Structure 1
Amino acid sequence: MRGETHVVQCSSSVHLRLEPVLPHACEVWRDEDYVVRVLAPSEQRFVRHGTYTGRSVSVSGELDPAALKEAFAALQLAFPVVMCRIEEDAAGSGYLLSPGDSRVGASITAGDVATVSLPATPVDPATQLAYLDAVTSGAGRWRVTLFAHHSIADAGHCVELLSRFWDFYTDIVEAAPISVVPQDYPQSLEWHVAQHGITEGRVSGFEGVTRPLPPTGAPVPVGDPAPSSLVQPRRARLDQAATARIVGLGHHRAVSVNGLVTAALLRAYASETSDATSGPVPLSCLYPVDMRSRLDPRVAPAAGTNMAGLASFAAGIDLSDNVLELAQRISERLRDDLADGIVQQSVLHFPDCYGTNRTHALAEHVAITNTGAVPPFRTPAGLVLTDYEIVYLSAHPRPSAGASAAVTFLLYTFHGQLTIGLLGGGADADRLLAAVGKELTALSEETIELAATGSRRVWVA
């Protein structure tokens, strides 16, 4: 017998009734709906394509379909923002609307669990902002994917949603009573930095990655949407031993793991996209920095939507140089920009680089997103999460409003294994991933000098 579910109502969320700001605003506002708020620039970036970020886990063991549906329903009650909707006005600006009358529950189907596919239930930001899709191939093999609209959930928020889902599922299966306390709607990074008294500075911190745009006087048209599409990045993975050696190397050299891996990725990209033997290859790199732990008081995972400021690094990548020297330069640049408060206020420069009214274009940079170590998820006895992937779904992709990254690397560690996902790369993607594997293996084999004994320890992969 399953445990009882207790719903504790929370009345601290405030809805503001607003009139349409444009004469051709969404029809839904004329139907007595409520606008929670206008999306901030850090959130607007994901409206044009209807971008959902997905966290997909491979599951070994028997899932209880009824408990799975009940757990997702509990998640929807606990985090009301996932039941909200996003609509656009005639100019393409997104508005967060309160939940509608209908709720789409978890989808459970039979199929191929080896790959991630479009959900069985059509994904629509005008309906709700999170979906759960479960697929089983029988014999205790499942794939469970949580999709959350990127305007309301970044990596930290999305992992928190997935973690809470598995908590609910485990309690339900184990017949433990659960209390569902609805959370307040999360706020944007712009709101959080304003609360901390952070104001826009003279520099953005990513000048080396942008170039000025000539004034056009006309916004980019929204364009007609294409059918929904899903991207499952190609991946390269290190084993636990090699991953541990890289972490140990970073600790010993006082260089962040992010700096070490970023250096390896830039070297891999330089080696495969240019004639690197003729000299340094000029590259620019742009990467998000989670501001939750860098604001005081710390921001809870579900209290913010997209809490990433931006940091950059630009240099000539010389493959004859030592990877550790490059990693130290990357880490030092980030430390300096954080110490000077540049990263903290970088979000206030987003309107200059994103959206239809931007004044600067992002050059063909290398984007690197490090989401860190994936926490262990709580599951019932006999159920094991064997793999974890990050995927992206575009509910209504439209022609791009600006230049995109040359490639995007995704970094995360699951079960102690460092994983690199690759978005883009075209026909060279497999070769680029091979170069990434080569650079990371070489990094894991770097010698650590032991100052106390004067000796050296060489770890061999």
Structure 2
Amino acid sequence: MMFASSEIRKLAPSEEWYAQSMTYGAITLDLTGTFDTAAMSAAFDALLESHPVLAGRLERDSGGRHTIVTDDLMHQGIWIASADSDDVFLDPGASLINLTVKAVDGHTEVTLYVHHSLADGHHQAALLFELFSRYADAVATGGTGPGGTAPTPQPLETVLDRRGIAKNQRSGLERFMPAMFAYDLPPAAVSGASKQPTRPVPAPTGRGRLTAAETNAVLEFGMANRLFLNPLVSAAVLLAEWRLRRTPEIPIPYVYVVDLRGLVEPPVGAMEATDPLGMATYLAHIDSRTDIVDLARDVADNFATDLADGVVQTSMLHFKPQYDDGPRGLPDVVSSTNLGRTPPLPTPPGLSVTDWRTTIYRASTVVDMYSVGIFGENLAVEHHTYAPEAQRSVDEVLTILRDAALQLHR
């Protein structure tokens, strides 16, 4: 039987990028204590009722563009996975959000998957917070919290237009022009001829974190040098890449994601927009004398200039799916995103969150993204990539940050 579908809205160009590659973001939480599967199922249903756009799916037209649609079929609800199951079948033509629950070695893993066209990392984290708020209510009272229906989140284009922010003539990629076709480049870390998956699959990921004491020392080092965490970690990532590439004379193009929510006026709420993001760029010229503080300050200064000039705010309006591989003639591009500090999730008594991690699912092997965030008291670094030595790159970044923090005590 066929069910008629209703159009919610077409994807904006900034969202279409993620639809073409079927990109999902996943956040996995490790939970210790008593877990109530029925209460989580009720909380997830309530989340979908509160955000009905998430219960939709993507429909592709003859021209290859996507529309968010809904039909009379109910969402399938949460997935109960076996402990030895790692495969998850994600299909944007069927669902844009999924939740798995898995019992593993005496604890519970809960993973929230959201299609990137509908939510970036900060939006997804807010959905996860609401989900656990409703779960805590369900365990405590049998209810699932307040009702009401949230409006469909706006695309980046609408966010900017309603604030009178016009597309800048510059994209930020101009910063890379001096390095294009200027060097004898080694083969790309990931061959463009690699077989591409036909459905979203998890990108290989290296992971590591600092202890609470090490994290505090890094934050103190940043404050002592008048540096925020993001440029400091960016500098560590670039220094690590420079060491591992073994091409010391070739500069490193760097692109990092910028959350625009607090950088526009009026500010944008966590779930008011899908992907209100900008892209900042930097071309790193590194040699054996490069100091992490000087490099971090230069990253910060370049960002401040591009933000003041309005380049960062509209940079994503210039980016196209074909930029995934980077402009031709350019050294391998390093990308990163900062997830910020994860707020404590509301959990009922007897249940605690002991760990978290993120995964990128994509129907493409063109993935190379560092992600950085603070969970509890620990700074975590992840490297999602099909390139070799993902774990080694993470270990190198953390070593550089540890060594930098020690400078305060020498």
TM-score, normalized by length of structure 2?
0.89
State the shift of 1:367 in Å.
0.4
> Which of 329, 334, 342 lines up with 1:374 in the alignment?
342
Instruction: State whether residues 8 and 53 of structure 2, in contact with CA within 8 Å, keep that contact through their aligned partners in structure 1.
Output: no
Instruction: State whether residues 250 and 257 of structure 1, in contact with CA within 8 Å, keep that contact through their aligned partners in structure 2.
Output: yes
Counterparts of 1:54 and 1:145 in 2: how far apart (Å)?
Answer: 6
Aligned residue in 1 for 2:268: 299
State the shift of 1:439 in Å.
0.9
Instruction: State whether residues 4 and 71 of structure 2, in contact with CA within 8 Å, keep that contact through their aligned partners in structure 1.
Output: no
How does 1:215-364 map onto structure 2 within 5 Å?
226-231=198-203, 233-276=205-248, 280-350=249-319, 353-355=320-322, 363=330, 364=332
Aligned residue in 1 for 2:127: 161
Counterparts of 2:81 and 2:209 in 1: how far apart (Å)?
Answer: 29
Listed one character per residue, the Cα deviations across residues 387-425 of structure 1 (whole Å, up to 9, x for unaligned) are 11111223xx26x7xxx46x3211111011111101226
Query: Structure 1: which amino acid aligns with 2:392?
Result: R
- Counterparts in 2 of 1:355 and 1:433: CA distance versus 1, 3 Å: closer
Counterparts of 1:193 and 1:82 in 2: how far apart (Å)?
Answer: 23
- Counterparts in 2 of 1:264 and 1:365: CA distance versus 1, 3 Å: same
Query: Structure 2: which amino acid aligns with 1:71?
Result: A
Query: Structure 2: which amino acid aligns with 1:248?
Result: E
State the shift of 1:354 in Å.
2.6
Counterparts of 1:166 and 1:48 in 2: how far apart (Å)?
Answer: 31
State the shift of 1:207 in Å.
2.0
Counterparts of 1:53 and 1:83 in 2: how far apart (Å)?
Answer: 16
1:427 alignment partner, SS class: coil
> Which of 373, 395, 401 lines up with 1:434 in the alignment?
395
Q: Does 2:378 align with 1:417?
A: yes
Query: Structure 2: which amino acid aligns with 1:369?
Result: T
**Alignment gaps of 5+ in structure 1:** 1-27, 214-222, 448-457
Q: Does 2:97 align with 1:136?
A: no
State the shift of 1:251 in Å.
2.1
Query: Structure 2: which amino acid aligns with 1:381?
Result: P
State the shift of 1:225 in Å.
6.3
State the shift of 1:226 in Å.
2.1
Instruction: State whether residues 28 and 110 of structure 2, in contact with CA within 8 Å, keep that contact through their aligned partners in structure 1.
Output: yes
State the shift of 1:275 in Å.
4.3
Aligned residue in 2 for 1:57: 29
How does 1:41-52 map onto structure 2 within 5 Å?
41-52=13-24
State the shift of 1:75 in Å.
0.7
Instruction: State whether residues 208 and 398 of structure 2, in contact with CA within 8 Å, keep that contact through their aligned partners in structure 1.
Output: yes
How does 1:15-26 map onto structure 2 within 5 Å?
none
Aligned residue in 1 for 2:186: none
How does 1:377-392 map onto structure 2 within 5 Å?
377-392=345-360
Listed one character per residue, the Cα deviations across residues 283-325 of structure 1 (whole Å, up to 9, x for unaligned) are 1100110001111111111111011111000021123221100
Listed one character per residue, the Cα deviations across residues 7-31 of structure 1 (whole Å, up to 9, x for unaligned) are xxxxxxxxxxxxxxxxxxxxx9xx7
Counterparts of 1:226 and 1:338 in 2: how far apart (Å)?
Answer: 37
Aligned residues: 393
State the shift of 1:445 in Å.
1.5
State the shift of 1:256 in Å.
1.6
Aligned residue in 2 for 1:182: 149
State the shift of 1:360 in Å.
5.6
Larger radius of gyration: 1
Counterparts of 1:409 and 1:128 in 2: how far apart (Å)?
Answer: 27
Aligned residue in 1 for 2:185: none
How does 1:14-163 map onto structure 2 within 5 Å?
32-112=4-84, 117-119=86-88, 122-137=89-104, 139=106, 141-163=107-129
State the shift of 1:228 in Å.
4.3
Listed one character per residue, the Cα deviations across residues 64-115 of structure 1 (whole Å, up to 9, x for unaligned) are 1110110111111111121011111233222111354221111123314xxx
Aligned residue in 2 for 1:172: 138
Query: Structure 1: which amino acid aligns with 2:20?
Result: R
- Counterparts in 2 of 1:100 and 1:349: CA distance versus 1, 3 Å: farther
State the shift of 1:335 in Å.
1.1
User: How big is the alpha-carbon RMSD for the aligned residues of Structure 1 and Structure 2?
Assistant: 2.6
Percent of aligned positions with the same letter in both sequences? 28
Instruction: State whether residues 26 and 358 of structure 2, in contact with CA within 8 Å, keep that contact through their aligned partners in structure 1.
Output: yes
TM-score, normalized by length of structure 1?
0.79
Counterparts of 2:372 and 2:394 in 1: how far apart (Å)?
Answer: 13
Counterparts of 1:232 and 1:173 in 2: how far apart (Å)?
Answer: 36
Instruction: State whether residues 209 and 362 of structure 1, in contact with CA within 8 Å, keep that contact through their aligned partners in structure 2.
Output: no
State the shift of 1:338 in Å.
1.1
State the shift of 1:435 in Å.
1.8
Counterparts of 1:83 and 1:57 in 2: how far apart (Å)?
Answer: 22
Counterparts of 1:78 and 1:236 in 2: how far apart (Å)?
Answer: 35
